[in-house]
Amino acid sequence: MNHINEDDLHAYADGLLPADRRAEVEAWLAAHPEDAARVQSWIAQNRALHAVFDEVLNEPLPLELVRAASRRQAKPVRWYRAAAALFVVAGVGFLGYGIGLRSAEAPALFATLPQAAAIAHVVYSPEQRHPVEVDAQHADHLVAWLSKRLGHELHAPDFKKQGFELLGGRLLPGETGPVAQFMYQDGLNRRITLYVRRDEAKQAETSFRHAREDGVEVFYWVDRGLGYALSGNVDQAEMGRLADAAYRQISP
């Protein structure tokens, strides 16, 4: 048996060894219980880190990164620097988030709703091949699945009278847990998205509020334990009418 060093043990814990070398390491561990205990602790640590941070990989991209990406051809070096900086900021912010979330006040949580919805809209609405996880042909399954994940009965508003057809939806990670996103498209290929998340802070029901996030019009409100945000690159007045239609169907 070849000598097993520290690098081999770490590679084994990370699942990076080829089959033959892995067998050698396993034989070594069987004969060296102290090393086996260390490796098991590393594996447990890896699993714990994945459980905490894997959802970050599916989070919507920050608007700053989306804007930087749109300029990548003109300034490639600066784009990579911006991406790296945002990654570091996001990592630090996530660690702080885990500590500070429980003390966040309801208004602060509610204030993040339009930006989070706009980011999700900017990231997913341009997609042509995979704009949604579950398409409109399986709308009943989509609504039931998202309702189960959020632990709350959801409804996908019907915007046919306003000229928008349901494309489908997807599940997203959010600040307070799972988030549902429904996507619609009209005959001009304009898309709007409805972002729905649980209101863990027990915010009182609110009337419509409006925000413009980097050119995205967002109408948002809280009703019956859920926060809603309708987003789109559509005229503000038209978005207001769509939001009103959504509210009337969701909260008759």
Going from the C-alpha of 100 to that of each of 49, 94, 97, 105, 160, the distances in angstroms are 19, 10, 5, 10, 42
Of 84-88, 175-179, 224-228, least confident by mean pLDDT is: 84-88
Q: Are residues 43 and 114 in the same domain?
A: no
28 with 119, same domain: the answer is no
pTM of the model: 0.59
Cα gap 177→175, rounded to integer Å: 6
Stretch 60-79: mean pLDDT: 52
Structural domain boundaries, residue 26? 6-56
Task: Give the mean model confidence (pLDDT) for residues 133-157.
Answer: 93
Residue 77 lies in a domain: no
In a domain, 73, yes or no: no
Residue 11 placed within a domain? yes
Confirm whether 97 is domain-assigned.
no
Residue 115 falls within a domain, yes or no?
Answer: yes
In angstroms, the CA 179 to CA 195 distance is 7
Please tell me whether residue 93 adopts helix, strand or coil conformation: helix
Mean pLDDT across 32-45: 77
pLDDT for res 92 = 40
With a cut of 90, say whether residue 145 has pLDDT above it: yes
pLDDT of 71 > 60? The answer is no
The answer to whether residue 122 scores a pLDDT higher than 80 is yes
What is the pLDDT confidence band of residue 189, given thresholds at 50, 70 and 90? very high
Q: Quick check: is 189 in a domain?
A: yes
Query: In Å, how far are 2, 8, 51, 53, 70 from 87, measured between CA atoms?
Result: 40, 29, 19, 13, 17
Domain total for the chain? 2
- Let me know if residue 205 belongs to a domain: yes
pLDDT at 72 over 50: no
